[in-house]
């Protein structure tokens, strides 16, 4: 295939070139590549990004397929422009052994939408009592370990996990939450929680565990990755640690940089997410952290739920937002169009950095590289309608929001896996 006249989003610039793809690889990037019987795709006026990589999603499969399954989740991913996703282990059974990991990999291959990289649990059953079979899971194909959904409370166990994972060249992805401080809270502790009469979660619940995991990484001189950062104080902790030479990387999500906790006062349970959406001071710090490189990646933390999980009182509702189909639009609208990040910076946060942190192929548009590409029209507007999501999870609080950035094609290993109809 030859992709003609697209604006290529490279590491430091955007250039108009043709791309020749053969056998799943980019073999040539140049002007006016001569045709030799290849299929041609006209990308005039469109931007071509390295295939987007989401290193934090929940596919719910095995065991919770009524919320999402590997087929619906990966088809939603390619519609959102993602060529690779990394799925968290809090399935049923928990992905804490090679059997579950192998099932996920094999099922994803059968579906054949985007590439799926499983993340294994740190502890057996995510109970925080014994280390899972990390070596076996690594051999079966995990790219990282995490007890996402809960923090590993026992600091000694977390230390052992980081040491062991580092020896196997596997990253620890840390969900940072002190459950005792959360104490049944459901939203950010602040003015909005007071107005709504909902129990708040203090920033310290997140910050204390961020500080602990940074301290462990520093003392062991091993890498650590902090998941879904939501607080201004957490951004500061990570920034200071990076300056001190600690091997820490971090991610955040669209709902932390685009809105504030004022959205909870309407009692829409789709705004209930963990960690919670915070205040303006936090939103601004997240934007600054993305800008200055403190926050390395943008992820979705795509957490699909069945309507019954959300159609209850706020306190009883499940935490999570289904966001894999809206993330790219949020980045273009709230980061690029708003002048916060350039297009190469967005490609870095949503593709190159996740690939680098987890050792995945892709993340760049380069000759000899894998032909994972996302082609989008950045000036076309669209309106979020959760009812039209490919994902089984319609739990998104941003219905009616107008966004820029429509994904036209998602190409995985040189094959078109999604085309906008």
The pairing of beta strand 14-22 with beta strand 2-9: antiparallel
**Signed CA dihedral, 406, 274, 288, 218: sign only:** negative
Q: Provide the 10 A C-beta neighbour count for residue 369.
A: 16
Give the other-Cβ count within 10 Å of 237's Cβ: 23
Alpha-carbon span 214 to 201, nearest angstrom: 21
Closest CA to 170 of 130, 118, 125, 213: 118
| Phi, psi dihedral angles at 210 (to 5 degrees) | -60, -45
75: Cβ contacts below 8 Å, ≥ 6 apart: 111, 113, 390, 418
Contact 38, 46 (CB under 8 A): no
Give CA torsion, residues 215, 257, 121, 364, to 10 deg: -100
d(CA 222, CA 246): 8
For residue 195, how many other CB atoms are within 10 A of its CB?
A: 12
Tokens of 116: 């799926």
Confirm if 391 and 68 have CB atoms less than 8 A apart: yes
- Residue where the block lists tokens 């990966």: 74
* Contact call for residues 134 and 96 (beta carbons, < 8 A): no
Q: What 3-state DSSP class applies to 215? A: helix
- Spot the catalytic one: 69, 96, 301, 413: 301
| Element spanning 145, H or E | strand 144-145
User: Are the CB atoms for 219 and 247 separated by under 8 Å?
Assistant: no
Residue carrying structure tokens 């019954």: 308
The DSSP call for residue 66 is T
Query: Which pair of structure tokens corresponds to residue 410?
Result: 């998602």
301 as an active site residue: the answer is: yes
Asked whether 28 and 390 are in contact (CB, 8 A), the reply is: no
Contact at 8 Å (CB) between 117 and 84? yes
Tell me the catalytic residues. 301
């Amino acid at each position: 295939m030859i992709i003609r006249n697209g604006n290529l989003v490279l590491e430091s610039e955007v250039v108009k070139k043709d791309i020749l793809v053969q056998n799943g690889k980019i073999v040539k990037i140049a002007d006016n590549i001569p045709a030799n019987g290849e299929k041609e795709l006209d990308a005039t006026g469109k931007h071509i990004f390295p295939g987007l990589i989401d290193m934090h999603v929940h596919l719910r499969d095995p065991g919770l397929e009524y919320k999402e399954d590997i087929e619906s989740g990966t088809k939603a991913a390619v519609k959102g422009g993602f060529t690779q996703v990394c799925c968290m282990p809090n399935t049923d059974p928990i992905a804490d052994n090679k059997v579950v990991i192998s099932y996920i990999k094999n099922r994803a291959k059968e579906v054949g939408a985007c590439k799926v990289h499983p993340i294994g649990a740190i502890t057996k059953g995510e109970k925080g009592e014994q280390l899972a079979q990390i070596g076996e899971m690594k051999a079966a194909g995990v790219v990282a370990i995490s007890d996402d959904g809960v923090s590993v409370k026992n600091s000694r166990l977390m230390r052992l996990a980081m040491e062991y994972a580092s020896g196997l060249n596997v990253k620890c992805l840390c969900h940072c939450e002190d459950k005792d401080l959360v104490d049944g809270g459901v939203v950010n502790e602040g003015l909005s929680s007071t107005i709504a009469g909902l129990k708040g979660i203090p920033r310290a619940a997140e910050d204390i565990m961020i500080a602990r995991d940074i301290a462990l990484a520093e003392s062991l001189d091993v890498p650590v990755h902090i998941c879904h950062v939501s607080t201004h104080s957490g951004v500061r902790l990570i920034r200071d640690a990076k300056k001190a030479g600690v091997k820490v990387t971090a991610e955040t999500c669209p709902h932390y940089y685009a809105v504030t906790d004022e959205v909870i006062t309407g009692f829409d349970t789709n705004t209930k997410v963990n960690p919670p959406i915070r205040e303006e001071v936090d939103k601004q710090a997240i934007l600054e952290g993305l800008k200055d490189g403190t926050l390395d990646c943008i992820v979705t933390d795509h957490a699909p739920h069945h309507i019954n999980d959300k159609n209850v009182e706020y306190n009883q509702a499940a935490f999570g937002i289904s966001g894999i189909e809206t993330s790219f639009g949020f980045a273009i609208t709230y980061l690029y169009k708003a002048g916060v990040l350039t297009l190469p910076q967005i490609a870095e946060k949503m593709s190159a950095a996740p690939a680098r942190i987890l050792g995945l192929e892709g993340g760049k548009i380069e000759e000899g590289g894998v032909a994972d590409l996302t082609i989008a029209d950045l000036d076309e507007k669209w309106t979020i309608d959760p009812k039209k999501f490919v994902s089984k999870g319609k739990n998104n609080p941003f219905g009616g929001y107008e966004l820029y950035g429509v994904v036209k094609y998602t190409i995985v290993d040189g094959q078109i896996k999604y085309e906008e109809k």
